[in-house]
Amino acid sequence: MPVYIYQVLHIIGILMVFTGYGALLARSLAGNTEDTKVRKLGSITSGIGLILILVAGFAMISKLGYSFSAPWILVKLVIWLALGGLIALINRKPALADKLWWVLLALGAVAAIMVYIVKLYV
Ligand code: HEM
Protein backbone atom coordinates (compact mmCIF):
# COMPACT_ATOMS: atom_id res chain seq x y z
CA MET A 1 0.00 0.00 0.00
CA PRO A 2 1.26 3.53 -0.68
CA VAL A 3 2.65 5.38 2.32
CA TYR A 4 0.00 8.11 2.16
CA ILE A 5 -2.60 5.52 3.23
CA TYR A 6 -0.64 5.00 6.48
CA GLN A 7 -0.16 8.74 6.94
CA VAL A 8 -3.92 9.28 6.67
CA LEU A 9 -4.61 6.34 9.02
CA HIS A 10 -2.07 7.73 11.52
CA ILE A 11 -3.85 11.09 11.54
CA ILE A 12 -7.32 9.48 11.75
CA GLY A 13 -6.04 7.48 14.74
CA ILE A 14 -4.82 10.67 16.41
CA LEU A 15 -8.17 12.38 15.78
CA MET A 16 -9.98 9.39 17.30
CA VAL A 17 -7.84 9.30 20.45
CA PHE A 18 -8.21 13.02 21.08
CA THR A 19 -11.94 13.08 20.29
CA GLY A 20 -12.56 10.03 22.50
CA TYR A 21 -10.49 11.27 25.44
CA GLY A 22 -11.96 14.76 25.06
CA ALA A 23 -15.45 13.30 25.44
CA LEU A 24 -14.42 11.21 28.47
CA LEU A 25 -12.77 14.20 30.12
CA ALA A 26 -15.73 16.48 29.37
CA ARG A 27 -17.98 13.88 31.01
CA SER A 28 -15.88 14.02 34.18
CA LEU A 29 -15.70 17.83 34.10
CA ALA A 30 -19.48 18.00 33.83
CA GLY A 31 -19.71 15.75 36.91
CA ASN A 32 -21.71 13.28 34.85
CA THR A 33 -19.74 10.06 35.46
CA GLU A 34 -22.94 7.97 35.42
CA ASP A 35 -23.29 8.48 31.67
CA THR A 36 -22.40 5.08 30.17
CA LYS A 37 -23.16 6.14 26.58
CA VAL A 38 -20.36 8.72 26.52
CA ARG A 39 -18.05 6.37 28.38
CA LYS A 40 -18.61 3.60 25.82
CA LEU A 41 -18.30 5.87 22.79
CA GLY A 42 -15.19 7.59 24.15
CA SER A 43 -13.50 4.32 25.12
CA ILE A 44 -14.22 2.55 21.83
CA THR A 45 -13.19 5.57 19.71
CA SER A 46 -9.93 6.14 21.59
CA GLY A 47 -9.13 2.39 21.66
CA ILE A 48 -9.49 2.01 17.89
CA GLY A 49 -7.53 5.24 17.45
CA LEU A 50 -4.60 3.94 19.51
CA ILE A 51 -4.43 0.79 17.39
CA LEU A 52 -4.51 2.83 14.17
CA ILE A 53 -1.71 5.12 15.40
CA LEU A 54 0.48 2.13 16.29
CA VAL A 55 -0.13 0.05 13.15
CA ALA A 56 0.17 3.01 10.76
CA GLY A 57 3.20 4.34 12.69
CA PHE A 58 5.09 1.06 12.34
CA ALA A 59 4.06 0.72 8.69
CA MET A 60 5.49 4.21 8.01
CA ILE A 61 8.74 3.33 9.78
CA SER A 62 9.34 0.43 7.38
CA LYS A 63 7.95 2.16 4.27
CA LEU A 64 10.01 5.31 4.85
CA GLY A 65 13.11 3.37 5.94
CA TYR A 66 13.45 4.86 9.43
CA SER A 67 15.33 3.15 12.24
CA PHE A 68 13.13 1.70 14.99
CA SER A 69 15.61 2.99 17.53
CA ALA A 70 15.67 6.61 16.30
CA PRO A 71 15.22 8.86 19.38
CA TRP A 72 12.18 10.68 17.96
CA ILE A 73 10.47 7.33 17.34
CA LEU A 74 11.32 6.04 20.83
CA VAL A 75 9.82 9.20 22.33
CA LYS A 76 6.68 8.71 20.22
CA LEU A 77 6.43 5.11 21.45
CA VAL A 78 6.61 6.35 25.04
CA ILE A 79 3.93 8.95 24.22
CA TRP A 80 1.78 6.20 22.75
CA LEU A 81 2.17 4.12 25.94
CA ALA A 82 1.34 7.18 28.06
CA LEU A 83 -1.75 7.86 25.93
CA GLY A 84 -2.83 4.23 26.37
CA GLY A 85 -2.37 4.41 30.13
CA LEU A 86 -4.16 7.74 30.39
CA ILE A 87 -7.61 6.16 30.01
CA ALA A 88 -7.21 4.39 33.36
CA LEU A 89 -6.59 7.74 35.07
CA ILE A 90 -9.36 9.47 33.11
CA ASN A 91 -11.87 6.84 34.20
CA ARG A 92 -10.68 6.32 37.76
CA LYS A 93 -9.78 9.86 38.77
CA PRO A 94 -12.50 12.20 37.47
CA ALA A 95 -11.27 14.86 39.90
CA LEU A 96 -8.05 15.12 37.87
CA ALA A 97 -9.92 15.80 34.61
CA ASP A 98 -8.90 19.46 34.31
CA LYS A 99 -5.20 18.54 34.74
CA LEU A 100 -5.40 15.50 32.43
CA TRP A 101 -6.95 17.75 29.76
CA TRP A 102 -3.68 19.68 29.52
CA VAL A 103 -1.50 16.57 29.94
CA LEU A 104 -3.28 15.09 26.91
CA LEU A 105 -2.63 18.18 24.80
CA ALA A 106 0.99 18.31 25.97
CA LEU A 107 1.54 14.66 24.90
CA GLY A 108 0.11 15.46 21.46
CA ALA A 109 2.26 18.57 21.18
CA VAL A 110 5.45 16.65 22.07
CA ALA A 111 4.60 14.00 19.43
CA ALA A 112 4.18 16.72 16.79
CA ILE A 113 7.44 18.40 17.86
CA MET A 114 9.20 15.03 17.54
CA VAL A 115 8.04 14.47 13.99
CA TYR A 116 8.34 18.00 12.63
CA ILE A 117 11.41 19.31 14.48
CA VAL A 118 13.44 16.68 16.38
CA LYS A 119 13.36 14.21 13.44
CA LEU A 120 15.32 16.75 11.36
CA TYR A 121 18.23 16.72 13.81
CA VAL A 122 18.46 13.29 15.52
C1 HEM B 1 3.61 3.96 18.22
C2 HEM B 1 3.85 5.21 18.22
C3 HEM B 1 4.16 6.00 16.99
C4 HEM B 1 4.97 5.68 15.93
C5 HEM B 1 5.79 4.42 15.73
C6 HEM B 1 4.93 6.80 15.01
C7 HEM B 1 5.63 6.88 13.81
C8 HEM B 1 5.49 7.88 12.89
C9 HEM B 1 6.15 7.95 11.60
C10 HEM B 1 7.14 6.92 11.08
C11 HEM B 1 5.75 9.09 10.99
C12 HEM B 1 6.15 9.55 9.57
C13 HEM B 1 7.20 10.60 9.61
C14 HEM B 1 7.49 11.08 8.21
O15 HEM B 1 6.56 11.21 7.39
O16 HEM B 1 8.67 11.35 7.92
C17 HEM B 1 4.82 9.76 11.87
C18 HEM B 1 4.19 10.93 11.58
C19 HEM B 1 3.41 11.64 12.46
N20 HEM B 1 3.06 11.25 13.75
FE21 HEM B 1 3.54 9.49 14.62
N22 HEM B 1 4.10 7.75 15.52
C23 HEM B 1 3.61 7.30 16.73
C24 HEM B 1 2.77 7.94 17.59
C25 HEM B 1 2.26 9.19 17.37
C26 HEM B 1 1.41 9.89 18.28
C27 HEM B 1 0.95 9.34 19.62
C28 HEM B 1 1.12 11.10 17.71
C29 HEM B 1 0.30 12.23 18.21
C30 HEM B 1 -0.47 12.17 19.25
C31 HEM B 1 1.80 11.15 16.44
C32 HEM B 1 1.77 12.22 15.56
C33 HEM B 1 2.30 12.24 14.31
C34 HEM B 1 2.14 13.32 13.34
C35 HEM B 1 1.37 14.61 13.57
C36 HEM B 1 2.83 12.93 12.20
C37 HEM B 1 2.95 13.72 10.90
C38 HEM B 1 2.00 13.18 9.90
C39 HEM B 1 2.69 12.79 8.63
O40 HEM B 1 3.51 13.55 8.12
O41 HEM B 1 2.40 11.70 8.17
N42 HEM B 1 2.48 9.98 16.26
N43 HEM B 1 4.69 9.02 13.02
pLDDT tens string 44-69? 999 999 999 999 999 999 999 999 99
Can you tell me the mean pLDDT for 105-117?
A: 98
Sign of the four-CA dihedral 15, 99, 91, 82: positive
The pLDDT assigned to 7 comes to 98
The parent domain of residue 91 ranges over 3-121
Would you place residue 12 in the very low, low, confident or very high pLDDT band (cuts 50, 70, 90)?
very high
Pocket test for ligand 1, best of 53, 64, 83, 113 (most atoms within 8 A of CB): 53
70 close to ligand 1 (CB < 6 Angstrom): no
**Rounded distance from Cα 45 to ligand 1 centre (Å):** 19
The pLDDT assigned to 32 comes to 83
Residue 33 clears pLDDT 90, i.e. is over it:
no
Number of domains in the chain: 1
CA of 58, closest atom in ligand 1: 5
53 close to ligand 1 (CB < 6 Angstrom): yes
Residue 34 clears pLDDT 90, i.e. is over it:
no
Q: What are φ and ψ of residue 68, in 5° steps? A: -65, -20
